[in-house]
Amino acid sequence: MGPIRYIGAFTLNKLKRLGRMFFFLFEAFLYSIIPPIKLGLWVRQIRFIGAESLSVILLTGTFSGMVLGFQGYYSLSRFGSEAFLGPAVGLSLIKEIGPVISALMVTGRAGSAITAEIGIMRISEQIDAIELMGLNPFRYLVVPRLLAALVSVPLLTSIFDVVGILGGYLIGVKLLGVGSGTYFGEMANYVDLKDVTEGLLKSISFAVIIVWVSCFKGYYTGIYTGFGAEGVSKATTQAVVMASVLILLWDYVMTSLLFS
Amino acid sequence: MIKIEDIHKSFGRTKVLNGVSLEVKQGELVALVGGSGSGKSVLLKHIAGLLRPDSGFIYINGTEITGLNKRQLELVRKEFGFLFQGGALFDSLTLFENVAFPLTEKLRLPKEEVTQRVLHYLDLVGLSGSEEKYPSQVSGGMIKRAALARSLITEPKIMLFDEPTTGLDPQMSLSILNLIRSVHDRLNLTGIIVTHAIPSVFKFTNRILMIYEGRIYFDGSPEEFKRSEEPIIRRFLGEEVLD
Ligand SMILES: Nc1ncnc2c1ncn2[C@@H]1O[C@H](COP(=O)(O)OP(=O)(O)O)[C@@H](O)[C@H]1O
Ligand SMILES: [Mg+2]
């Protein structure tokens, strides 16, 4: 009986946790569409998740584009098709690199802070205090962050794409000698609206993943990780790892779905 | 009225409440004492519906609350004021905003009325002049007092105070106990105060409850408590005197 019972309990436990996690997401969406929305908190979170991530995105976007410029030129010149550097850089950035790296950067910068902040509110009983006033903690903690990320992450991603394309231009055109007209002309020929939409859909879903995971881990700090400062730091680590893994997995799922 | 019937609660393998029963009548102010870790905070959180017992029943003004869902609980909680042991002030808000929070968010009172009431309550707890400070900028005792103001400002019918005087100097704890007493008398509220302020609390309540090994071990007047020959109570009082 021993091991079977153990496996049973383990499985049930995991399922319960998974169920709780999906219910959390459901509630987050539910209260995002039922007013009142706390506009002040929303704006504050756009500033935190969006505006304050800008420098990181500018930096990583430029360098990613520059690397793509080198690598793309190197691969394409083997087939004598350096002329297609523009579309190669543009498509990789818009469809793949832009959404994924932006989301990972936001996870590291804002996701971890979200978990820590909500986790501290949990262990210092601030969340219980909101509940005891007869108010809904989701409206104060989760909804403003979800709505802010849905605005900020796609915008950050587009900025990443733009500076990335300019980084590729810097390397391909200024350093390696591809024609400026060729770089942008071919890019305009080969990048469709469909590609842009694909990147946008990805970044929207990544925004949901980031907020979902980091808020959930913060909200349930203590229940899964133990109380105290150690509980918060564990929850934060778990949130960053889990959100990053989910982003990459979901990226695969979306790519394969959109491919067919 | 608060009535508790035989509640049990374990966290993992630790049994914290092991058959607690008690009744506090409308308008009564009782003190709950007990060693640290004896389950006083856990008991208060059960009464407020923040924790659910493993078994047993809790009645608030006749309504059994352990089976209620969130929405039904909200109705019962309207009656509650709760002071958390650590204060539980919102870090991102000033003391003023913290105390105003239940008025602006829940009761949606007009701005002038909020300001007037908040300033009045901050004055009552001796915090005039610190309105614009953040919790991280003030002492633990000030956080406690601001939290007390926040929990009293809605003029609740049932008040649960988790250690309102811990961390305050003797004079301040006396004035806080006085404040609780006067608010109690004015609103005729039902209240439970968890406190270590022995013996000063003896003057402020006429009923002491002591929790020990997960049960209500003593229930009686301060005089009976002081005179008790029970070794466990003697030891508890001795500890407190040494403090
Ligand atoms: N949410 C919780 N999870 C696990 N254990 C808890 C929880 N809350 C309290 N406990 C444990 O219950 C016991 C009683 O705690 P508490 O009611 O805070 O004591 P006190 O009488 O000092 O207020 C302690 O051993 C504490 O560790
Ligand atoms: Mg306690």
Residues 86-105 of A with CB under 8 A from B: none
Coil vs helix vs strand at B59 = strand
pLDDT at position B196, please?
83
Q: What is the mean pLDDT of residues A9-27?
A: 92
- The answer to whether the beta carbons of residues A227 and A122 sit under 8 Å apart is no
Reported in sequence order, the residue ranges of B100-183 that DSSP labels E, i.e. its strands, are: 158-162
* pLDDT of B240: 52
A125 CB neighbours in chain B (<8 A) are 84-86, 88
Which residues contact residue B74 at a Cβ distance below 8 angstroms, ignoring those fewer than 6 apart? A134
Q: Average pLDDT over chain A, rounded to whole?
A: 93
Cα–Cα distance measured from residue A131 to residue B80, given in angstroms and rounded to the nearest whole number: 11
Judging contacts by C-beta atoms under 8 Å, the chain A residues touching residue B89 are: 126
Q: Which ligand is nearest to the CA of B45?
A: 1
Tens digits of per-residue pLDDT, A96-122? 999 999 999 999 999 999 999 999 999
Tokens of B46: 């059960």
Q: For ligand 1, atom 17, which residue shows the shortest CA distance?
A: B39
Report pLDDT for B197: 78
Give the distance from residue B118's alpha carbon to the nearest chain A alpha carbon, in angstroms. 16
Q: Which atom of ligand 1 is nearest to the CA of B211?
A: 21
Query: What is the distance in angstroms between the Cα of B77 and the nearest Cα belonging to chain A?
Result: 6
Q: What ipTM score was computed for the predicted complex, to two decimals?
A: 0.90
| 8 Å CB contact of A125 and B86 | yes
Token pair, residue B211, equals 């929790």
* Optimal mutation site among A39, A43, A117, A125, interface B, most CBs of chain B within 10 A: A125
* Count of residues in chain A: 260
**CA A182 – CA B176 distance, rounded (Å):** 78
Question: Cα(B15) to centroid of ligand 1, in Å?
Answer: 10
**Is beta strand B80-83 parallel, antiparallel or unpaired with respect to B2-11?**
unpaired
- The answer to whether the CB of B45 falls within 8 A of the CB of B56 is no
| Nearest residue (CA) to ligand 1, atom 25 | B37
How far CA A191 is from CA of A187, A242, A258, in Å, comes to 6, 32, 16
- pLDDT at position A225: 64
Which residue type, as a one-letter code, is found at position A69?
G
Q: Which of A126, A134, A135 sits opposite B88 (nearest CB)?
A: A126
Q: Cα separation of A250 and A157, whole Å?
A: 17
Q: How do the pLDDT tens digits run along chain B, 243 residues long?
A: 999 999 999 998 899 999 999 999 999 999 999 998 999 999 999 999 999 999 999 999 989 999 998 888 888 888 889 999 999 999 999 999 999 999 998 888 899 999 999 999 999 888 999 999 999 999 888 999 999 999 999 999 999 999 998 888 888 888 888 889 888 888 889 999 998 878 788 888 889 999 999 999 999 999 999 888 888 888 888 755 444
Q: How far apart are CA B212 and CA B217, in angstroms?
A: 6
Please report the pLDDT score of residue B243 as a whole number: 45
CA A41 to ligand 1 center in whole angstroms: 33
Contact (CB<8Å) B106/A135: yes
Name all domains of chain B by residue range, CATH numbers in brackets: 2-79+158-242 (3.40.50.300), 88-155 (no CATH)
Scanning the structure block, which residue is given the tokens 């936001």? A106
Beta bridge partners of residue B18, listed in sequence order: B8
Nearest to B163 by CA among B131, B116, B201: B201
At residue A3, the pLDDT reads 85
Determine which of A132, A138, A145 to mutate to test the interface with B (most B C-beta atoms within 10 Å). Answer: A132
Q: Flag if A129 and B82 touch (Cβ within 8 Å).
A: yes
Q: Which residues of B touch A126 (CB under 8 A)?
A: 88-91
Pick from A183, A205, A212: which is nearest to A69 by CA?
A183
Cis peptide before A36 (omega within 30 of 0): yes
Report how far ligand 2's centroid is from the alpha carbon of B47 (Å). 14
User: What are residue B109's phi and psi, to 5 degrees?
Assistant: -80, 155
Residue of A13, A39, A133, A138 to mutate for B, most B C-beta atoms under 10 A: A133
CA separation, residue B214 to residues B20, B34, B125, B171 (Å): 7, 10, 33, 32
Residue type for B147, please? A
Query: What DSSP state is assigned to residue B163?
Result: S
* Tokens standing for residue A101: 């790296």
Query: How far is the centre of ligand 1, averaged over its atoms, from the C-alpha of B11 (Å)?
Result: 8
| Token pair listed for B31 | 């003190």
pLDDT, tens digit (0-9, with 9 covering 90-100), for A161-191 = 999 999 999 999 999 988 999 999 999 999 9
- Min Cα distance A117 → chain B (Å) is 10
Give the closest-approach CA distance of B233 to chain A in angstroms: 31
In this structure, the residues whose C-beta lies within 6 A of any atom of ligand 1 are B 11, 14, 16, 34, 36-42
Please check whether residue A213 is in contact with residue A239, taking contact to mean a CB–CB distance below 8 angstroms. Answer: yes
Q: Which of B7, B8, B9, B11 to mutate to test the pocket of ligand 1 (most atoms within 8 A of CB)?
A: B11
| Residue A75: count of CB within 10 angstroms of its CB | 13
Span A194-244, pLDDT tens digits: 999 999 999 999 999 999 999 999 999 987 666 788 899 999 999 999 999
Query: Which residues of A, range 123-152, sit inside 8 Å of B by Cβ?
Result: 124-126, 128-129, 131-135
Atom in ligand 1 nearest the alpha carbon of residue B38: 21
Its pTM stands at 0.90
Residue for token pair 């500890």: B239
**SS3 per-residue string spanning chain A:** CHHHHHHHHHHHHHHHHHHHHHHHHHHHHHHHHCCCCCHHHHHHHHHHHHHHHHHHHHHHHHHHHHHHHHHHHHHHHHCCCHHHHHHHHHHHHHHHHHHHHHHHHHHHHHHHHHHHHHHHHHHCCHHHHHHHCCCCHHHHHCHHHHHHHHHHHHHHHHHHHHHHHHHHHHHHHHHCCCCHHHHHHHHHHHCCHHHHHHHHHHHHHHHHHHHHHHHHHHHCCCCCCCCHHHHHHHHHHHHHHHHHHHHHHHHHHHHHHHHC
Return the residue whose CA atom lies nearest to atom 18 of ligand 1: B41
Do the chains contact at A125 and B84, CB–CB below 8 Å?
yes
- Number of neighbours of residue B243 by Cβ within 10 angstroms: 8
